Amino acid sequence: MTVVVLRPLELRDAPAIFAAVERSREALRRWMVWHDDAYDVKSAEAWVQYAVAAHTAGNSLHFSVRDADDQIVGVLSLEDISPETGRAMIGYWLATSATGRGLGTRAVREAVSWAAAHSRIRVIWSLVAEANAPSRRVLESNGFTIVGVRERDERGDIPLVYEKALP
């Protein structure tokens, strides 16, 4: 079984997150709208500060994704949590060196299980580019289904809307 641990982000995680970004720029540049070639340690620190504050406020939950050796290999977030509708968006990325080993699938499974047991979230949704087959497999293997298609985005991708109802 693939071991993955989700741990709430901490300020001290910023250097490891930057290192994962640094090792994965090509993939992140292609799929993540937030990626900027100028992303540096200070960018990681600023984002982690934002993520910790949002986590504390309860409107987003941000986790480091760690492998069996307790190394940070990515990030998973439940964002735009709506107490009124019980909906949240899931987003995630893994360092290129961590892909293809089931860590993403396991991290999403852990997040969905946690949300079902410990939150008022009842529906989790995600946007994934139609061409991003690995990310689509992660969601589909966790029971997410396509519920919509959006207009072609600025990169020329067709975003698919995935959704999963929680028990």
**More confident: 33 or 77:** 77
Please report, in angstroms and rounded to a whole number, the separation of the first and last CA atoms in the chain: 24
Residue 1 pLDDT exceeds 60: no
Question: What is the maximum alpha-carbon separation in the chain?
Answer: 42
Place of tokens 């809307």: 161
Q: What average pLDDT does the structure give for the chain? A: 89
pLDDT value at residue 58:
86
Cβ-Cβ contacts under 8 Å for 154 (sequence gap 6 or more) = none
Angstrom distance (rounded) from CA 42 to CA 28: 18
Query: Tokens 């069996």 map to which residue?
Result: 68
- Report whether pLDDT(34) > 60: no
Query: Would you place residue 45 in the very low, low, confident or very high pLDDT band (cuts 50, 70, 90)?
Result: very high
Query: What is residue 29's predicted lDDT score, i.e. its pLDDT?
Result: 58
Q: What pLDDT was estimated at residue 19?
A: 87
Span 119-139, mean pLDDT? 94
Q: Which domains does the chain have, with CATH numbers?
A: 5-165 (3.40.630.30)
Q: Are 18 and 41 in contact (CB under 8 A)?
A: yes
pLDDT of residue 66: 93
Q: State the pLDDT confidence band at 33, using cuts at 50, 70 and 90.
A: low
